[in-house]
Structures are given as C-alpha cells and as structure tokens.
Amino acid sequence: MAGFLLKRLLNYLALTSVATVLGYLLVSSTLDPIARFLGRNPPIPQASIDTTLSRLGVNPDTPLLARLGNWIVNLVTTGSLGTSTRGTEVTADIFARSGTSLRLLIIGTILGAIIGIAIGVWGAVRQYKAPDQITTYASFVVLATPVFVLAVLLMITATAINRTTDSQIFNFTGEYTPGLSGGFFTLLGDRIVHLLLPTISLTVFAVASYSRYQRSAMLDVMSADYIRTARSKGRTRGSAMIRHGVRVALIPMSTFFAYSFGLVLTGASVTELAFSWHGMGEYLITSIRNNDINAAAGTILFTSILVLISGTLADFLYAALDPRVRV
C-alpha cells in the first residue's frame, strides 16, 4: 500500500506540474490584462498601468517564460498563487470558494449518483419495457436541456408556489439570507432552503447522466457467463444480478463517478451563476471575463489537483469492487 501511494504521489506531482505549466502558458497567451484599463474616462496613464501589471506579475512587456518562472518560484517558496485583479490573494479566494462549492455540490452529486445508478440498473433489467422507455426519454430530454433553462424553470415553479401559499417556502438567491438573525436552527434552516433548488437542478442532471452510463454497463454484463453460472447453481435471477451483475457493472461507473466528482467543483459554473452562489465555477468565469491571469491559472492548478486525487479514489473503488485488483 505504501509503495502504491508513493508511486501515485510522484506521478501526480509530475502530472500536476505539467498541467499547471501548460495552464499558465495558455491563460497568459490568451487573456489580455491590459484590456480592463482601456476605455476609461479620464484615461489611465500608461505608467500606472505598467506599475499595476508588474505588481501582479502579468506585465506583457516581461517575457512569458520569465513571468512563468516568477509565478512558479513564488508558488513554491511562499505557497501563494499571486494577487487577483480585485487585489485579493488567489489562494485565499480558492479556499473560500471551494468550500462554498462543496456545500452546494456534494449533496447533489452523491444523490444524483445513487438515484441514477438505481434507475440505470432498473432500466437494464426491464429493457424496452415501459419503465425503461420512460426513463430513457426523460434522461434524453434532461440532457438536451440547457442548465440555465432548467434553473429558470425551477425558479418560476418556486415563485408560483410561494405566491400560491402566500409564504416564502423557497429561497433561491445566494447561499443564505443577508441580515437574518436567530438561533442555530433558524440559520441552518435558512441555508437548507437556499440549497434546495440548486441541489435539485444538479441532481436531475446527474441522474440523467449516471442512469445512461449505468444502464449501458449493466446490459453488457447481463448476458455474461458468470451470470448464467450463478443461475445454474440455483441463484434466482434477481440474486444473480445484484450479487454479481451490479457489482461488475459498477466498476466502470466508479471511474466515471470519481472523475465527475473531481470536476464538479468547477463544472457547475452555470448553476452557480443562475442561483448566485459564489463558488469555484463562478470564480473561473469571472477570472476569464476580467482577464485575470493569476486567478485563472490558480483555478487550473486547483482543478488538476482535484482530478488527480479523483484518479486515486477511482483506483481504490475499482479495487474494492474487483477482488482481482490489488493496490
């Protein structure tokens, strides 16, 4: 186990370094940090622009490789990802916003995986029957619907319910009500209410995606020899499917789930924007819109670390599901 973890750590260190360097080169080559200073009235003096860009370490007059080297040295020696265009530390922003994204996304992702896998197995077992057809068409409709459209539909429905009941049952702007006072349970309830609609939005899309993958994986194992062997030994069809079929069908799903979970913090940007949650997805879009090189590069580094950690999680899940695999 120790050897496996050490090997993974070294591989991940190398891969993270490569991803970070390429990410920094990409954002530095495509984003224009001078753009936000242009078109001001009165115009900002060029000397002030150069001073600000040099302080941030993104002055285009400095060679790209020199800027990359300074950014890496600063990261290794101080652990800092630089300063954003808003004057805040990128490292502190990422820590704060990743926590916000986790509070929003972890419930929806896990619920979506559990429900989606169950629906996928059910659809495969009842292939081409009414339940399978209904779930298939419903999944395709959801997957074909833009995320912001579903978010708006949920908001319209919630507003209609609030008006019908003449009470504020649903709150869907931000992660809490500003200025709300009360005890612990009052504040907790307020956060849960704000979590409800974005969680439903994320769960619906996750269910549609996971159910399609799980149904396909389950159909591949239903006609396998070990299923027929289990049936010949006296197991019922349901018992053979659950004990042998589902477990094997979950192996490819473990990889899909792990990497999906690693990307979900930055992948739900539209949902965060729609419901005004200030998480990592919004941070990535804002950094690109503001031509904020340090913030965009820091987000790439953060995402690469999450993906590589998710790879390790996938390996452990794979080993847990397949006894032939040893880590």
d(CA 283, CA 289): 10
Can you tell me the mean pLDDT for 227-241? 71
* Selection from 145, 130, 119, 318 nearest residue 212 by Cα: 119
* Residue 221 confidence class, pLDDT cut points 50, 70, 90: confident
Q: Kindly report the pTM of this predicted structure.
A: 0.79
- Whether the pLDDT of residue 118 is over 80: the answer is yes
Annotate the chain with three-state secondary structure: CHHHHHHHHHHHHHHHHHHHHHHHHHHHHHCCCCHHHCCCCCCCCHHHHHHHHHHHCCCCCCCHHHHHHHHHHHHHHHCCCCECCCCCEHHHHHHHHHHHHHHHHHHHHHHHHHHHHHHHHHHHHCCCCHHHHHHHHHHHHHHHCCHHHHHHHHHHHHHHHHHHHCCCCCCCCCCCCCCCCCCHHHHHHHHHHHHHHHHHHHHHHHHHHHHHHHHHHHHHHHCCHHHHHHHHCCCCHHHHHHHHHHHHHHHHHHHHHHHHHHHHHHHCHHHHHHCCCCCHHHHHHHHHHCCCHHHHHHHHHHHHHHHHHHHHHHHHHHHHHCCCCCC
Can you tell me the mean pLDDT for 6-16? 78
pLDDT digits (tens, 9 = 90+) for 275-317: 888 888 888 888 988 899 999 999 888 888 887 777 777 777 7
| Average per-residue pLDDT for the chain | 83
Is residue 298 within 8 Å of 90, Cβ to Cβ?
yes
Tokens of residue 200, six digits: 């439903």
Who wins on pLDDT, 266 or 145? Answer: 145
Can you tell me the mean pLDDT for 126-149? 88
- Domains of the chain plus CATH, in order, are 2-78 (no CATH), 91-321 (1.10.3720.10)
pLDDT digits (tens, 9 = 90+) for 19-48: 889 999 999 989 988 888 887 778 888 888
